[in-house]
Amino acid sequence: MNQFPRWKYILIAILLVVGAIYAAPNLSGDNPAVQVSHDKGFNLPVEIRDSINSALTADDIPVLASETTPARLLFRFNNTEEQLRAADSIKAALGDEYVVALNLAPATPDWLRNLGADPMVLGLDLQGGVHFLMQVDMKTAASQQLDRFVDDIRVSLRDYKIRYKSVRHDNQGILVELRSLEDRDKSLTTINNDSGLNVLTVKEIAGADSFNLRITVPDTVLQELKDTALQQNIITLRNRVNELGVAEPVVQQQGGDRIVVQLPGVQDTARAKKILGATATLEYRAVDETANPVTALQTGRIPPTSRLYYERDGSPVLLKKRMIVSGDQLTGASAGFDQRSGSPSVTVTLDGVGAKRMLDFSRNNVGNRMGVVFIENKPGGIRTEEVISVAVIREPLGSRFQTSGLDSVDEAGQLALLLRAGALAAPVEIIEERTVGPSLGQDNIEKGFKSVVIGFVLVLIFMALYYKVFGMIANVALFVNLVFIVAMLSLLGATLTLPGIAGIVLTVGMAVDANVLIFERIREELRNGNTPLASIRSGYDKAFSTIADANITTLIAAIVLFAFGTGPIKGFAVTLSLGIISSMFTAIVLTRALVNLIYGRRAKVSKLSI
């Protein structure tokens, strides 16, 4: 009599229950929904929910259900027609300050959601949404970096009291015009010894009356700066989209200067452009303490070294033209409280270059004020600038410091959000846009589901006819294998795409390979005259090494595809990998348990239905 350990039955039972729970949400379907969030990612005011409900009631649009979080409102509807009408009604009621996006919200029961069971995440080709290909302006990125080098050179020359006529950049690099041979020699030493400038290549310009220097940025340094700008833009765009609550966005590099952005579930291209196009940057500037901004506004007499800005409440403020630190040098920001006063504050973290510049400035300006300028570039070339914070410098600041002077905890959280998601290291332009409608996505789902069902049913019929009872056992294992794949995709939060469905279809065909090997081995043992129970034991034992070798080599190929592939290839590799792992368990362990339940407990078996 074959022996099968009881602990394996318990393990199988536990896995079946867990698999069923985490696969179940995919049977619940979706509700057409409208998602409302602030266009800058702020928390929504409490009264906005009543305003939306009033607008929907006035237009006679029934709401199936609604969900509320501090930064997002989600309204579910019975059908797509009501969803579209509701979106128009909400847009009319709220105006352009809020993002109103069409979405598909999972209709998962609350008890499953409380267990962390969510449906599979559907990719853009299945769920619908918008796709953008964005070009990063690398010329501007290089020019901005040259401007920073020009500012740093000027500061370095002034610090060492070196006389110069001008420092500017042109098509050949940076030109420094000095007043004497002595000034030129001192500037050579200064630039070469400065830790922030020693990456530059400095050459003297020959001439009897020329005391100029030609400074160029090495190609390796320039390429590194461009790569950094690209990665900074990717992080910024990803943070901005995530903060706005778009479900499972895709933001990734394509080539050397392009970024792909996919927003599943978002159907309004204009609104999606607003989310991405309204990217921003930040600038830290010193407040001009020598002039009155109100007087300067009234008389029009603005100091030549300063510029007039406006705070968010409309109050004028004079800031120095020379920038201290820009937003692309910011690595983090979080809201909190000032330990001294207990008032709300924002803690900011800068990179190495930004920290040095902030330390040099703040060391000499303790007690003076510093302004944070938020610059927003909107679609259509619209540019807005506002001072979002003016704070007093209490002590020399380094890589990490607090911005205080805020009125509320909510304002501190909003400022931290703007700081985290605001800075673009280089301008971007949308060069390609594509919208996948929910109807096309649904058509893809139906065709993909049909392909899985057809392949599954054909395999079931073949196995049942050819291997009889053992074939039915393999069919049960195949069904459980599908459940496990869906459960793992849901549990891991992996995105299912059309190539991913292709991986599942392939897995359905491959999953029975192991059982075919085992069953044929059992039949061979029976032909050799072994008893039925001995043939079962021998078939599973002797086929295991062949099954393991075949599946491990395929798994290695899937891992390589995932490591080196991009979007669609990764989706295929994920489902193929999960399918291989699951099929190894179901084809060997689960079928052995079922065979043992049918034949293993008998004292004597005269014939196998195989």
Which pLDDT does position 319 carry in this prediction?
92
Query: Has residue 422 got a pLDDT over 60?
Result: no
The pLDDT of residue 73: 86
- In this structure, whether the domain defined by 280-423 belongs to CATH 3.30.1360.200 is answered with yes
β pairing state of 495-496 and 121-122: parallel
| Mean pLDDT of the region 50-67 | 89
pLDDT at 278 over 60: no
6-24+437-600 is classed in which CATH architecture?
Up-down Bundle (1.20)
pLDDT at 441: 61
Report residue 292 as tokens. 């009155």
pLDDT at 16: 92
* C-alpha count within 13 angstroms, C-beta hemisphere, residue 91: 15
Q: Phi and psi at residue 120, in whole multiples of 5°?
A: -60, 145
- Categorize the per-residue pLDDT at 272 as very low, low, confident or very high, splitting at 50, 70 and 90: low
- The region that residue 367 occupies, defined by phi over 0 for left and psi between -120 and 50 for alpha, beta otherwise, is left
- At residue 381, the pLDDT reads 61
**Whether pLDDT at 247 is above 60:** no
Pick the residue with more confidence: 472 or 71? 472
Average pLDDT value for the chain: 80
pLDDT digits (tens, 9 = 90+) for 440-453: 666 777 777 787 78
Residues 332-358 have a mean pLDDT of 77
Per-residue pLDDT tens digits for 372-390? 887 766 655 667 788 877 8
Q: How far apart are CA 548 and CA 157, in angstroms?
A: 70
* Phi, psi dihedral angles at 215 (to 5 degrees): -115, 130
Sign of CA pseudo-dihedral 443, 445, 448, 454: negative
- pLDDT confidence tier of residue 87, bands split at 50, 70 and 90: confident
What is the pLDDT confidence band of residue 65, given thresholds at 50, 70 and 90?
Answer: confident
Within 8 A by CB and 6+ apart from 477, the residues are: 511, 515, 586, 587, 590, 591, 594
User: Cα separation of 167 and 486, whole Å?
Assistant: 63
Q: Is the pLDDT of residue 486 over 70?
A: yes
pLDDT of residue 117: 83
**pLDDT average, residue stretch 589-596:** 87
- Using pLDDT thresholds of 50, 70 and 90, give the confidence band for residue 250: confident
The tokens for 466 are 């050819």
Region label for 116, one of left (φ > 0), alpha (ψ between -120 and 50) or beta (otherwise)? left
Which pair of tokens denotes residue 149?
Answer: 């080098």
Which of 105-114, 245-254, 549-558 has the largest mean confidence?
549-558
More confident residue, 359 or 335: 359
Report CA dihedral (451, 457, 462, 467) to the nearest 10 degrees.
130
Task: Give SS3 for 181.
Answer: helix
- Write down the pLDDT at residue 254: 84
- Top mean pLDDT of 91-95, 429-433, 518-522 is at 518-522
Q: Which residue has the higher pLDDT, 242 or 541?
A: 541
Which class is 30-107 in CATH? alpha beta
In order of 330, 457, 481, the CA distances from 423 in angstroms are 8, 53, 46
Whether 143 shows a pLDDT value over 90: the answer reads no
d(CA 558, CA 555) in angstroms, rounded, equals 5
Measured CA to CA, the distance from residue 473 to residue 469 in angstroms comes to 6
Backbone angles phi, psi at 262, to 5 degrees: -125, 130
Residue 53 neighbours by CB under 8 Å, 6+ apart: 63
Whether residue 329 is predicted with pLDDT greater than 70 in this model: the reply is yes
Residue 40 has pLDDT above 70, yes or no: no
Q: How far apart are CA 119 and CA 360, in angstroms?
A: 53
Q: CB–CB of 255/129 below 8 Å?
A: no
Residues 6+ away with beta carbon under 8 Å from 252: 234, 259, 260, 566, 567
pTM reported for the whole predicted model: 0.60
Backbone angles phi, psi at 392, to 5 degrees: -85, 135
- Looking at the chain, the whole-number percentage of residues with pLDDT higher than 90 is 3
